[in-house]
Homo-oligomer: A and B are copies of this chain.
Amino acid sequence: MMSILNKLKSLDIRLPEAPDPLGSYVPCVRTGNLVFVSGMLPLKDGRLIHTGKVGSDVSIEDAQESCELATINALSVIRSCIGSLDDIERCIKINGFISSAEGFFEQPSVLNAASDLLFKIFGDKGKHSRAAVGVFCLPLNSPVEIDFVFEVK
């Protein structure tokens, strides 16, 4: 079986350095076989790749790209926490908070970008439960924030 790092290479995804948390907390905590990942933002080299509310300032496509980047940042964080992404048994749950303009109801389409990427990378182990919610505003004016629970070996 292909290692997850090789799988990421085949998808042309390079894991960044794990992003610094924005406050006095840690990006990732393990308890037993569960790993809880803090709310991830679409930060690249310390900056958000998009800002604003989805449905007005930010297009669905840009919000989807933001979800993919938040997911990649999460993988980077998990790798630094547990050592190897090959020790992931399953993605259990993701919560996608989508900063939403009035009348925007396509949060599931936006969050699908994260769900699809997890499935591409991990196959059946990437299939997760989730909640997609439209919120009023997010840290740094981010369009999306996603937190994760993984089961690991």
Contacts and interface: CB of A to CB of B under 8 A. Distances in A.
Interface residues of A, number: 56
Contacts of A149: 36
Number of copies: 3
Nearest to A130: B25
Given A23-B112, A24-B115, A115-B25, A133 B130 contact: no
B137 A38 contact: no
B23 A151 contact: no
B138 A137 contact: no
A137 B105 contact: yes
A151 B31 contact: yes
A83 interface: no
